[in-house]
Chain A
Amino acid sequence: MEQGGQKGPVKGGKPGVFLFQGNNGGKARRRPPFFRTKKLAIIGSTASIQFAPWMDPAWTIAAHPCSRPDCVREPDWYFDLHRPECFTTQQKRWNSRYYAWLQNLQTPIFMQEDASSCPRVRDTYTETVDGVETQKTRLIPSPWASIPMAVRYPLERVLAEYRGYFTNHVAYMIALAMTEGVTHIGLFGCQYSHETEHGIQRGSCEYWMGRFEQYGGTLVLPPRFCNLLAVPSKLYGYESHDERGKLIEEYRPKVKVPTITRPTVDGKGTEHIALTPIRSDSAEGRPPLMALPDGEQPAWERSGLAVDDAGHVIAPEPVGAHG
């Protein structure tokens, strides 16, 4: 088994987290085939991570850095294909010093650019001379140049061969594995079931899982805590509706919505009112309370009693008893 350049525990980006080095550390191949074995385990952070084959040398382990605190040993590959602003200007909840951690990383990581192939990038800035603003460009050190272990993800090669339906990192990893003749892919700790961007990503992930099976590969899924290609488990149409013709629980949306729970008007029961949040930046959104420019009063009134500039009511005409 090939061993990495650093022996023993490796200090991670999160204080107190030490992991044993994986198989690839420090000696990543910068050209295909990238993966050392024909079995690739893709690691996430949900409960099924416990089934990952950490100590099986037949498997190459790949993980997003956010999963590192949950890893049993150092992965063989990391992947972070976000644009550089995402790691140079943002502080991650799972690693408050992520950029510094990347710069000191000793495990190869797939990124948008290679550390050596992209030493500088073009930067556009505004220069003001005698009150005249001029747009200029200059070359500044590439953010990837400071990450020695960055390896360029071969996006062009993947896009040339496959449909460009990539909405998550797992999809990129599966597609790359297929170009390299990987025979087994395992997904451990990967769930896409939340009301976040992850929910949107599930479709792409399952698409690539299907592509991999169609290509002849073997998908290895954890025996528990995995909803990919498994939920809902009942056959639609044949088993998805109960004897009253209603959708069974498994087929109903799992996202809980804001709900008002209160006594009924007559005080004898309880009613539940489901709400749909209104996005503040949507066309129907209105300015927040009391936050209008120049101290202007909210113009919420759409009808009814009018108010003059001093805030006094302009007396209404009699309108009858029923408003």
Chain B
Amino acid sequence: MARSFLNRTTLDVALSDAKTLDLTVGSNANMSVGRYIVVDDEIMLVTALAASGTTGITVQRGQMGTLARSHAAGQSITIGNAPGGEPDFKVLASGEVVLMGDPGGSLPFYRRLGQRARDGQGNEYVMCDFTGTTYSRQPVQINSDYTAAPVGTTGRGQFGVAAEEATSDQWGWVQIYGRCFVQLGMSGVSPSDAANGPTTLSTSQGTIFILATSQTTPIGIGWTSDPSTNGYWIVGMTVASDASPGDVSAVTSAASHTGSQIAVFLNYPRIVYTDNAPS
């Protein structure tokens, strides 16, 4: 299960050296003096908030044995809890900063957003912050700050398949490489055709996954086998080689999602827009 975790904001102005102490952030609303924040693998201590405005903070760099270094604008800042409780962060011998688990301790070394991991089958996942209710195996768009949400009818950028259920502001894994099942859903198109190309067109064409032009509930991914179709294509996701024609399974579990799903192979997919597909 995904977990609720710490507040975050962004670094609005890049830190070009290891000495700068005054930071401009997206918002200092969840910060206070004495809290630790993490940017990349550097831990900083908040020593003051700007007297006016909501975006300025002063910090001490390179805390808890981490190395002060430069950081690009837009990097995510994870904000620790108020001082006095259990540590929110831990520095591994490798220098990596990891987040400590939730109070229950079921996830003692949950990583930072953007952390990648691999399972025993070679599938690869990335840690994301879900911005809305998401079911496992739903297609999601991954934004530059590692927020993720079920795909819409438009969009560009990184794409993945939610590996676990989550609600808003929870962190969880999104699969970006390897074999998995993905939720299907697109009004007016038969799910059973996805593994074989829509039969109304041509079974000799491969399935091309696209953002649905009209969505079903819950949200799924659409498809076509017509390469002249303009729209939002999922590049790097194909029907899994071990799926048989018409091999689309139905899911009715309320704890997961409802609808249909198909086995696919992800190869670091992303959403691109095409308006010049040849007919």
Which residues of A come within 8 Å of B, CB atoms?
A: 86, 89-93, 96, 195-197, 200, 255-263, 265-268, 273-281, 285-286, 288-291, 298, 300-305, 307, 311-313, 315-316, 318-323
Inter-chain CA distance A63–B235, complex, in Å, is 58
Which applies to chain B's interface (DSSP): helix, strand, loop or mixed? loop
Q: With a CB–CB cut-off of 8 A, which chain B residues contact A96?
A: 45
- Chain B residues near A266 (CB, 8 Å)? 249, 251, 253
B126 within 8 A of A: yes
Within 8 Å CB of A89, what residues of B?
62
B60 within 8 A of A: yes
Q: List 19 A-B contacts (CB under 8 A).
A: A91-B60, A93-B87, A195-B109, A258-B117, A260-B119, A265-B251, A266-B253, A267-B251, A267-B252, A275-B119, A277-B116, A277-B117, A300-B176, A301-B236, A301-B268, A302-B268, A307-B272, A321-B204, A321-B239
Chain B's interface size range is 35 or more
B 132-175 contacts with A by CB, 8 A: 136-137, 142, 144, 146, 156-158, 163-165, 173
Give the chain B neighbours of A313 by CB distance below 8 A: 233, 235, 272, 274, 277
Are B267 and A323 neighbours in the complex by a CB distance under 8 Å? no
Q: Bound state CA distance, A276 and B118, in angstroms?
A: 5
B87, closest chain A residue (CB): A93
Contacts A260-B125, A262-B163, A273-B119; A300 near B272 (Cβ below 8 A): no
Asked if A311 meets B94 with Cβ closer than 8 Å, knowing A89-B62, A305-B233, the reply is: no
Q: Does the CB pair B204–A318 fall under 8 Å?
A: yes
CB neighbours (8 Å) of A263 from chain B are 136, 253, 255-256
Question: Is A311 touching B273 in the complex (CB atoms < 8 A)?
Answer: yes
**Alpha-carbon separation in the docked complex, A300 to B274 (Å):** 18
Given A263-B256, A289-B114, A320-B206 in contact, is the A274-B236 Cβ separation under 8 Å? Answer: no
B-side contacts of A288, CB under 8 Å: 114
Q: Which of A259, A273, A318, A321 contacts B196 (CB 8 A)?
A: A321
Residues of B contacting A273 with CB < 8 Å? 119-120, 163
Q: Do A258 and B107 contact each other (CB < 8 Å), given the known contacts A275-B173, A322-B241? A: yes
Chain A nearest Cβ from B153, distance in angstroms:
17
What is the bound-complex CA distance between A211 and B153, given in angstroms?
69
Q: For chains A and B in complex, what number of residue pairs have CB atoms within 8 angstroms?
A: 201
Alpha-carbon distance A322/B217, docked complex (angstroms)? 27
* Residue of chain A at shortest CB distance from B238: A323
Q: How far is the CA of A86 from the CA of B106 in the complex (A)?
A: 32
Bound Cα distance from A318 to B203, whole angstroms: 10
Contact A90 B207 (CB under 8 A): no
Q: Which residues of A are found within 8 Å of B117, using beta-carbon distances? A: 258, 275-278
A291 to B136, CA, bound (A): 27
Report A-chain residues with C-beta under 8 Å of the C-beta of B74.
290-291
Residue of B1, B93, B158, B241 near A300 (CB, 8 A) is B158
Contacts of B146 in A (CB 8 A): 289
Of chain A, the residue at the smallest CB distance from B36 is A93
